Chain A
Amino acid sequence: ETGVTQTPRHLVMGMTNKKSLKCEQHLGHNAMYWYKQSAKKPLELMFVYSLEERVENNSVPSRFSPECPNSSHLFLHLHTLQPEDSALYLCASSQARGSEPQHFGDGTRLSIL
């Protein structure tokens, strides 16, 4: 039990669908992160939230849209995804933004048909 919960654990969707990934942390942390882990590639940081502020990696396509309604919840809204977006999407949190030790959820395995 890491204190970071991600749902769903598995998701299969078509390229025209719209879905959302959810992350919840019960650790009282102020920063939350989305990562993408593709097969045989290093973890890629996608987005960082610190309290109400979002820090965005400019290389993330607009078909990925994060939302952080409060410091305990983080969403990743997905629409018009491509097959190359199939990957494990990991959420993490830390006490503050940056390189504090991070606590990860077990991820959502996403498959795009």
Chain B
Amino acid sequence: DAKTTQPTSMDCAEGRAANLPCNHSTISGNEYVYWYRQIHSQGPQYIIHGLKNNETNEMASLIITEDRKSSTLILPHATLRDTAVYYCIVRVLVMDTGRRALTFGSGTRLQVQP
């Protein structure tokens, strides 16, 4: 099963871009990379996902390396409300019946500083 590795914590100045890295060197060819975040006292929130092309939506951009062994989530203009734990996830097999489901790791705690 593909495993992800993220830094435990990062700081970012308000208004600057936040670049959150993730390593997933054992990802298989048909596995997607998903990003979620969890703001304190709330449930996780979906941000973006991709397979091999770079993706952008209203929240963030996702850059995936050509070999797909790592990716970077970019918040272009971080605000104080972006302070949260950010999870990089790949599809893994966890259920005994063979159904694929998301597995959350420990994530990166992003602190946006004023």
Contacts and interface: CB of A to CB of B under 8 A. Distances in A.
Contact-residue bracket for chain A: 20 to 34
Interface stretch (A13-21, A68-76, A77-85, A95-103): A95-103
Interface of A: 2, 4, 33, 42-43, 45, 48, 55-58, 90, 92, 97-99, 101-107
B13 interface: no
A104 B46 CA distance: 9
B49 interface: yes
Q: How large is the interface on B (under 10, 10 to 19, 20 to 34, 35 or more residues)?
A: 20 to 34
Top 7 A-B residue pairs of the complex, sorted by shortest distance between their CB atoms: A104-B43, A43-B104, A101-B46, A99-B91, A98-B100, A104-B44, A106-B43
A48 B95 CA distance: 9
Interface in B92-112: 94-97, 99-106
A92 B43 contact: yes
A26 to B, nearest CB: 15
B44 A90 contact: yes
Contacts of B42: 106-107
A92 B103 CA distance: 13
A42 B101 CA distance: 14
B110 to A, nearest CB: 17
B46 A102 contact: yes
B21 to A, nearest CB: 18
Nearest to B41: A106
A106 B40 CA distance: 10
Contacts of B87: 43
B2 to A, nearest CB: 12
Contacts of B95: 45, 48, 55, 57
Interface string B37-63: 000011111100100000000000000
Nearest to A43: B104
B43 A4 contact: yes
